[in-house]
Amino acid sequence: MEADYVVVGAGSGGCAMAYRLAEAGKRVIVIEYGGSDAGPFIQMPGALSYPMNMALYDWGFSSEPEPHLDGRRLATPRGKVIGGSSSVNGMVFVRGHAKDFDHWAESGAVGWGFADVLPYFKRMETWHGGNGVANGFRGASGPLHVTRGPRTNPLFHAFVEAGRQAGYEVTDDYNGEKQEGFGAFEATIWKGRRWSAANAYLKPALKRENCTVVRALARKIVVRDGRAVGVEIERGGRVEVIGARAEVILAASSINTPKLLMLSGFGPAGHLAEHGIDVLADRPGVGANLQDHLEVYMQFASKQPITLYKYWNLWGKAFVGAQWLLTGTGLGASNQFESCAFIRSDKGVDYPDIQYHFLPIAVRYDGKAVAEGHGFQAHTGPMRSKSRGTVTLRSSDPKEAPAIRFNYMSHPDDWDEFRKCIRLTRDIFAQPAFESFVKHEIQPGPDVRSDDEIDAFIREHAESAYHPCGTAKLGRRDDPMAVVDPECLVIGVEGLRVADSSIFPRITNGNLNAPSIMVGEKAADHVLGRGMLSPSNAEPWMSARWRESQR
């Protein structure tokens, strides 16, 4: 088997890449180890806690014991299914802040500033919000539908009003001109269904004769005379090669992409030699620069029985599921993340560095533990941790999971930023808007006050927000830690690119699905040798008082 382009991974970046290459008339084969995304656990937005905890759909990775979090191993779910992590995530849609991308460009990712990437964010979406299309920030005709929840629960409005009462900005569209502030959350949900990269991009591409999916485990990239010419795969117990006439494109996630690069001979020479792998390009940045968002759940008991807790039983879940299956509507048609905020932690911080997901139930993300009866919570954590980790090989066996070391909370600034998150959150929930709703604080609890007590709570309870990235950094060709150049080409070999969240030089503000799809869209134009879309001259909003005031 061979094609013009072989894409490894049917996730957010890979699906967008396959769609654009097939649309341009190129022959494309997508290699995906996972299976079908059919069925209510994936397609029903309200069931989001299930697929990311099912071995059928998740690679089942976890971190090595984290030294700064009491030696805990943290779950690191990655989608093992058509659509990749966009089929198992929380469906939250956040582009990131304009300054995130300007920082990328300043650090060597030339051509990836906000003005350069905004046209790709617009191309990829059909936005069902307000007037953002008219002001040049939002898209109206892309494959990815972006919607807002109904926000019928009064708690969603109380959260935004509390933010306003506390002196923060309110924003009509955090993905548009103004990220900073409290407002409505956006989601990749359309007509009551999860609108994953598979539904938006891959399934339309597969309707063309020139695009196919091969279910197999990618073992390594085949390189001949300094050029990637195919991918070695295993399926049905047999090892074979799928040939690439033009290029191989890796979009296998920030965990599996560096693993595949190292198995193929691209990475830190000493580490590859330890595992008996011939070094084709000594790139110390492969598997380095690993970043993530860490968060805690601030939970409060509710005075009123208006939370989702009333459905947190067999009959309630059966009702929600049946309503969704029969009508495509109701609570099952929402991810329940319908209000959010992006704020600055202190004066002198020029753009938001704290994110909030508000949820009208007090429960763990994996759905395994619900708090004491009716309650609600805000997920919060710093957006730009200075801690960096690694993804490394355990062995040269392609079937063995890599070793993932996030090194969470290893930078002293992380502790200061996290303490601010917790104290600022308490101030928000103490506002008059929550007076008729907040009964008491469940977690961390009213007794957790001092720095030492807050630090102990973080060590015990902080969880990953499941936003790993950065392990094959985009940068200048003369940057020894860069893995891909600004056209997403792997440095040190011909015909090989990366198009997923691995290439982020620094983590973006918020959830990573939207920027990962954007990478697939923009990288496709690099692959096709087209000129880039014209840079935007839209000017994002920045607080005029950021030097003097935290809010």
pLDDT digits (tens, 9 = 90+) for 436-478: 999 999 999 999 999 999 999 999 999 999 999 999 999 999 9
The backbone torsions φ and ψ at residue 272, rounded to the nearest 5 degrees and listed phi first, read -65, -40
Q: What is the CATH number of domain 150-184+294-382+411-461?
A: 3.30.410.40
DSSP state string for 313-363? SHHHHHHHHHHHHHHS-SGGGS-S--EEEEE-SSTT--S--EEEEEESS-B
Closest by Cα among 337, 417, 355 to 179: 355
pLDDT tens per residue, range 86-97: 999 999 999 999
pLDDT band for position 369 (50/70/90)? low
For the beta carbon of residue 349, count every other beta carbon within 10 angstroms.
Answer: 18
Reference 540, options 205, 114, 210, 133; nearest CA is 114
Q: Is 89 annotated as a binding residue?
A: yes
Catalytic site residues?
467
What is the number of helices (H) and of strands (E) in the chain? Answer: 13, 25
Which of 12-26, 254-268, 360-374, 525-539 is predicted with the least confidence, judged by mean pLDDT?
360-374
In three-state secondary structure terms, 41 is: helix
Class of residue 203 by CB neighbours under 10 A (exposed 0-12, middle 13-18, buried 19+): middle
- Under 8 Å between Cβ of 61 and 405: no
pTM of the shown model: 0.98
CATH class of the domain defined by 1-144+187-292+396-409+466-534: alpha beta
Place of tokens 């995530």: 89
Pairing, β 186-187 against β 125-127: unpaired
CA distance 268 to 481: 10
Q: Is 81 annotated as a binding residue?
A: yes
Mutual angle of helices 412-429 and 154-165, in 10-degree steps: 110
pLDDT for 370 beyond 90: no
Domain boundaries, the chain: 1-144+187-292+396-409+466-534, 150-184+294-382+411-461
The string of pLDDT tens digits covering residues 152-186 is: 999 999 999 999 999 999 999 999 999 999 999 99
